[in-house]
Structure 1
Amino acid sequence: MSGYTTSRAFLEALAEAGVRYVFANLGSDHPGLVETYAQARDEGWAKRLPELVVCPHESVAMSAAHGYAQVTGVPQAVVVHVDCGTQNIGGMLHNAAKGRVGVLLYAGASPFTQEGELLGSRNEFIQWIQDVHDQRGIVRGYTKYDNEIRTGHNVKQLVQRALQIARSEPAGPVYLVGPREVMEADVPEQHADPALFSPVAPAALAPDVVDRVAGALAGARSPVVVTSYLGRDPEAVPALVELCETLGVPVIESVPMHLNFPADHPLHWGYQWNTQQPNPRLAEADVVLVLGSDVPWIPTRNRPDAGARLFVIDIDPVKEQMPLWHVPAECFARADLRTAVSQLTARARELADPAVVARRTESAAAEHERQRRVLAERERPEGTVITPEYLVACVREAIDDDTLVLTEAITNYHVVNEHLRRNRPGTLIGSGGGSLGWAAGAAIGVKLAAPDRTVVSLVGDGSYLFGVPSSAQWVARRYGTPNLTVIFDNQGWKAPKQSTLGVHPDGVAARNDDFGVGFAPAADLPGIAEAAGGAWGRTVRDAGELASVLAESLEMVRSGRSAVVSVRVPAV
């Protein structure tokens, strides 16, 4: 045995590609990785490998890698146990896929020998039980690429190719599996130059598309931009501001999972989520440019006017992974959003009529101010009762512009966006998907990516419990990633109740208030974090106490201790 194994080459390849962390839930399929790390620590070359972050639950590992990549743009690695661990990250894998976030997921596979023919051959009963027909098939609906490591002789090439695909837009998760015998095998020292596996370069719009879209915006009576995830690239946000200012075009954020446009900018025209009424600003538009959005509107509720001209520019313009999706646009174009917006701005400068731009800007600013006054009225507490609007306003006053805020408040998503009023690109992040529990692990990854910044998560009580807080808080304590979690505790799942009322507004469930969504008897939500991670915890029921508790909790976080504040808002 030379000691240079496939496992060592695999870990070296990750480090060479810029992976700093392996978020791992180790199992019987990982002796080769465990031995490599032990050897590296013993012989003094551990810094040549990614740091191992042990996560007692796979979903925390996956969402931590997700959060790190969202801040840095660099995919990290997640190691899980064969088919069982792979299934345990299912919801968080969905989030990475739908949020277009690169993550390299590695799982071992049950050994393929059982008589001791090779090192790593089966020697535990579980290895027969966990031998399934198509382990890679478990994730194939959510990954951009999957492969099996069949030999260590090209493992570095496989890792670099997987990461190249993960980083190329639309970015997304990739999956590798490796049987024990292969990962234990001695191989010659491996080499693969990461510089030769760069992601696909950003795509630009064709010149005729630039002319067509810029001309439509410039010549419109009432144009509007709709976006949901342009802010995945923080540098695209000021580019969009420049385009909108050049033409006097307002922006609507639809189901935003990122800060896409500064909330205080006079051209910001608000947000829409599961809005059940028509959006008058969208209905009045005669030209609509959709820039990076999966759900620009809900067709049955708030679609644009039938006569409006629609254009879609996106890294994923026809949503190939969504079986049912359509926007009746006259042009669909695949392009990097920052590149496309810069192209449109250059052409718009040549076409803009200063008088028209001034008129549009004045009208948009008036609407922006009207919306702001309405929202300000909602931020007052109702006696001692803490409303979600008041809670978010208090958080807004407690944090600074540099704070990284993770939003997973579900039925209060819109409240967070409307009242937090974030303006700095990259400072408001959502999962991008629909599986709850992302924020608990993501806060760890975000803090590792930005150790000098304060990290605050705004979550529902259901989201908090989905996040396996016992595991997440333990990991945060062990690896020094203190963060604040603020819980909108409405003592139940509001979303299923709203969904039922949307379909059966006069049904039996509505008549009897029987929805099966309550969390009684109430759990001590901060107590979970205190017990598992030594966190500072408080439950707040009185509006008069909220500001001081938030201030104290942030002091705790800045001193190096995580904090969880559960805020009782009106019950479901």
Structure 2
Amino acid sequence: MRPIEALLEIARDEGVTRVFGNPGTTELPLMDALAGAPDPEYVLGLHEGSVVSMADGYARASRRTSMVSLHVAAGVANGLIGMLNARRSRTPMVIVAGQQDRRHLVQDPMLSGDLVGLASAATKSAVEVQHASDLPLVLRRAFALAARPPAGPVLVSVPMDLLEEDIDVAVPARSPVSGPGVAADVVADAAALLAAAERPVVVAGDGVGRAGAVRELVAVAESLGAAVYHQPMNDGVDFPGGHPLYAGMLLPRNAVIRETLGRYDAALIAGCHAFMPHHYTPGPAVPDGLAIVQVDEDPAEIGRNFPVRHGVTGDLAGTLRALADRLEGRVPSARARAEWLGAVHARARAETEAAARGAYGPSPLDPRAAAHAVAAGLPEDAVVVEEAITTGLLLRAVLRQDRPRSYVHTVGGGLGWGIGAAVGTRLADPERPVVAVLGDGCAMFGLQGLWSAARYEVPVTFVVMNNGEYRTLKDTLDEGGGTSAQRGRYVGMDLAPPPLDWRAAGRLFGVEAVRAGSAAELRDAVAAVKDADGPLLIEAPIAARGTGR
């Protein structure tokens, strides 16, 4: 089997049905081979940032490792933001990057570069294949490593001439791997600690959603009667948003996390990557004296940023199931705690709902009303792909999604991810409506992804929250008492004038676009996406603040 044939054979065997890419000269052997093959399908993007984002959304929705094809040093550089997001969000992905012809690499030809050096900081691993006979083995290793906890992107640099070699290479068989078992004695000790707590709390990390362990975590929380918080800036649904025990998301500041967790005497932290604060505040995230049980698939997470009483690694769903079994019927006060917490959380949710509904009106919309309108209009079983920095926080407060993988975000923070991720999500799961909620600044970074949505007729609705500013920067200055905030003047934080015309942007790429004239119109436009047969862009004008205009 020739090297290029081996590449495609391994991709198929690893479950790859689509390759996301933007081709160049070094990818011509691959493109030529795909032209004569029934599969996989090649999904074209106009920019590598959109390409990697599509693969990110596709891998999460399909629960399979995705595959990306990038072009030499420039293509890898353009895709780095997406790789950083995928690494932070632990998305399994194999990136095959075409390198220049080895026969003149010594001459520093155009487009060549250190692909491995470029990608190393943004991937789990980056390697360049030197011999055609090594290609199949390196690819097998890449797919295995990408999926192994902690999952993430792996880059393989493949010189163009290597793929064109006319030699016979062997394809190693795929090696299925079973996860480690559950440590029964450690689970027993952990259960005893949690059962004895008077004020237990649970922190649901994104590892829970990735592992399909939401049901098991619910059983643990109900056995304890414990309040449950999502990790800061969670990437998915790791605990049902409508559950009476759900207390919301921890804000990404150590001081706030510490104050919140300080109300409790024992904590179960499940599948959570070290809390990852955003804005600096002094001190640790965990208060002194808090007894912690930490469970994670990645052994490196246990005790990484804070001491724990009991750490359990291995299969997350199995560990939580064993913990729930140990706790069942063991905490007499669990029901009373749950009823009290349910009443507290219901009152808080009702107050949030009332405030948002009271802000409804014509555009420019109050951000609370805009967020609520999207949540209220969502069709049943819809998936929300969110990349709206400030409005996104308001949206989290009113979403009540219970089904796992109904909410998709990237904690990586590299802007421009949302449009491509939404396209990839819908391609992987075409039965569920997809609504992408985007900040105008975020959307500008990934605008080219709209073209792929139009080309492949992907029925995604893109809601662009247009406030004409980088509001999160202004809010941060306001909170910190910046002098520019006191003067009402901000440098480099306004996107108008001239105003961005999002309807024109949609039409440029072949996407139908409308503008919401009120919160009610936005709600109704989102509700209509259940019958969509193509992409739609909804511009939602949001009231700006702190601009001095």
TM-score > 0.5 by shorter chain: yes
User: Is the CA contact 2:211–2:317 (under 8 Å) kept in the aligned structure 1?
Assistant: no
Map of 2:295 onto structure 1: 313
CA distance in 1, matches of 2:429, 2:118: 33
| 2:328 alignment partner, SS class | helix
Which structure 1 segments of 5+ residues have no match? 41-45, 115-120
User: Is the CA contact 2:374–2:522 (under 8 Å) kept in the aligned structure 1?
Assistant: no
Map of 1:74 onto structure 2: 64
- 1:498 and 2:475 equivalent? yes
Task: Give the 3 Å change call, closer, same or farther, for CA 383–401 of structure 1 in structure 2.
Answer: closer
Correspondences of 1:155-554 after superposition (within 5 Å): 155-188=135-168, 190-194=170-174, 196=175, 198=176, 200-233=177-210, 235-255=212-232, 256-274=234-252, 277=256, 281-296=260-275, 300=282, 303-316=285-298, 318-319=300-301, 326-349=305-328, 352-354=330-332, 356-380=333-357, 381-384=359-362, 386-467=365-446, 469=447, 471-503=448-480, 505-520=481-496, 521-532=498-509, 534-552=510-528, 554=529
User: Is the CA contact 2:267–2:290 (under 8 Å) kept in the aligned structure 1?
Assistant: yes
Map of 2:537 onto structure 1: 564
Instruction: Kindly provide the amino acid, as one letter, of the partner of residue 411 in structure 1.
Output: T
Deviations 1:200-224 (A, max 9, x none): 4333442332122211111001000
Map of 2:129 onto structure 1: 149
1:230 to partner: Cα distance:
3.5
Among residues 67, 88, 100, which one is paired with 2:78 in the alignment?
A: 88
User: Is the CA contact 1:290–1:296 (under 8 Å) kept in the aligned structure 2?
Assistant: no
1:232 to partner: Cα distance:
3.0
CA distance in 2, matches of 1:225, 1:212: 17
CA distance in 1, matches of 2:372, 2:283: 29
Percentage identity across aligned positions?
28
Deviations 1:183-240 (A, max 9, x none): 110122643222x2x3x43334423321222111110010000123144336311111
- 1:36 and 2:13 equivalent? no
User: Is the CA contact 2:120–2:126 (under 8 Å) kept in the aligned structure 1?
Assistant: yes
1:371 to partner: Cα distance:
1.6
Q: Which moved more, 1:489-498 or 1:99-108?
A: 489-498
CA distance in 2, matches of 1:498, 1:330: 38
Task: Give the 3 Å change call, closer, same or farther, for CA 430–501 of structure 1 in structure 2.
Answer: same
Correspondences of 1:8-47 after superposition (within 5 Å): 8-38=5-35, 40=36, 46-47=37-38
Task: Give the 3 Å change call, closer, same or farther, for CA 479–389 of structure 1 in structure 2.
Answer: same
| 1:30 alignment partner, SS class | helix
User: Is the CA contact 1:262–1:423 (under 8 Å) kept in the aligned structure 2?
Assistant: yes
CA distance in 2, matches of 1:232, 1:292: 9
CA distance in 2, matches of 1:205, 1:345: 13
CA distance in 2, matches of 1:413, 1:328: 32
1:104 to partner: Cα distance:
0.6
User: Is the CA contact 1:217–1:287 (under 8 Å) kept in the aligned structure 2?
Assistant: yes
Task: Give the 3 Å change call, closer, same or farther, for CA 492–254 of structure 1 in structure 2.
Answer: same
User: Is the CA contact 2:34–2:40 (under 8 Å) kept in the aligned structure 1?
Assistant: no
Deviations 1:245-272 (A, max 9, x none): 1221220112211111111111111222
User: Is the CA contact 2:360–2:369 (under 8 Å) kept in the aligned structure 1?
Assistant: no
CA distance in 2, matches of 1:523, 1:210: 55
CA distance in 2, matches of 1:166, 1:495: 33
Deviations 1:260-296 (A, max 9, x none): 1111111111222246757765321000111122353
CA distance in 2, matches of 1:296, 1:189: 46
| 1:181 alignment partner, SS class | helix
| 1:527 alignment partner, SS class | helix
1:566 to partner: Cα distance:
1.2
Task: Give the 3 Å change call, closer, same or farther, for CA 328–513 of structure 1 in structure 2.
Answer: farther
Instruction: Kindly provide the amino acid, as one letter, of the partner of residue 195 in structure 2.
Output: A
CA distance in 2, matches of 1:317, 1:192: 29
Deviations 1:287-332 (A, max 9, x none): 0111122353856489454232123222335459xxx962243344
Map of 1:43 onto structure 2: none
CA distance in 1, matches of 2:313, 2:156: 28
User: Is the CA contact 2:208–2:270 (under 8 Å) kept in the aligned structure 1?
Assistant: no
Q: Which moved more, 1:147-156 or 1:262-271?
A: 147-156
CA distance in 2, matches of 1:395, 1:344: 37
Deviations 1:376-407 (A, max 9, x none): 12222254352233223222232233111111
Task: Give the 3 Å change call, closer, same or farther, for CA 178–12 of structure 1 in structure 2.
Answer: same
Deviations 1:131-162 (A, max 9, x none): 33x32011112222222222332422221221
Q: Which moved more, 1:87-96 or 1:294-303?
A: 294-303
Instruction: Kindly provide the amino acid, as one letter, of the partner of residue 19 in structure 2.
Output: V
CA distance in 2, matches of 1:55, 1:278: 40
User: Is the CA contact 1:403–1:455 (under 8 Å) kept in the aligned structure 2?
Assistant: yes
Task: Give the 3 Å change call, closer, same or farther, for CA 336–219 of structure 1 in structure 2.
Answer: same
Map of 1:130 onto structure 2: 111
User: Is the CA contact 1:286–1:305 (under 8 Å) kept in the aligned structure 2?
Assistant: no
User: Is the CA contact 1:152–1:183 (under 8 Å) kept in the aligned structure 2?
Assistant: yes
User: Is the CA contact 1:509–1:515 (under 8 Å) kept in the aligned structure 2?
Assistant: no
Instruction: Kindly provide the amino acid, as one letter, of the partner of residue 495 in structure 1.
Output: T
User: Is the CA contact 1:203–1:339 (under 8 Å) kept in the aligned structure 2?
Assistant: no
Deviations 1:59-101 (A, max 9, x none): 1110111111101221121111111100001111001000011
User: Is the CA contact 2:377–2:525 (under 8 Å) kept in the aligned structure 1?
Assistant: no
Provide the aligned length of Structure 1 versus Structure 2. 537
Among residues 47, 62, 76, which one is paired with 1:57 in the alignment?
A: 47
User: Is the CA contact 2:435–2:461 (under 8 Å) kept in the aligned structure 1?
Assistant: yes
Which structure 2 segments of 5+ residues have no match? none
User: Is the CA contact 2:375–2:395 (under 8 Å) kept in the aligned structure 1?
Assistant: no
User: Is the CA contact 1:486–1:567 (under 8 Å) kept in the aligned structure 2?
Assistant: yes
Task: Give the 3 Å change call, closer, same or farther, for CA 90–179 of structure 1 in structure 2.
Answer: same
User: Is the CA contact 1:297–1:303 (under 8 Å) kept in the aligned structure 2?
Assistant: no
User: Is the CA contact 1:235–1:338 (under 8 Å) kept in the aligned structure 2?
Assistant: yes
User: Is the CA contact 1:232–1:426 (under 8 Å) kept in the aligned structure 2?
Assistant: yes
| 1:7 alignment partner, SS class | helix
User: Is the CA contact 2:274–2:301 (under 8 Å) kept in the aligned structure 1?
Assistant: no
| 1:431 alignment partner, SS class | coil
| 1:443 alignment partner, SS class | helix
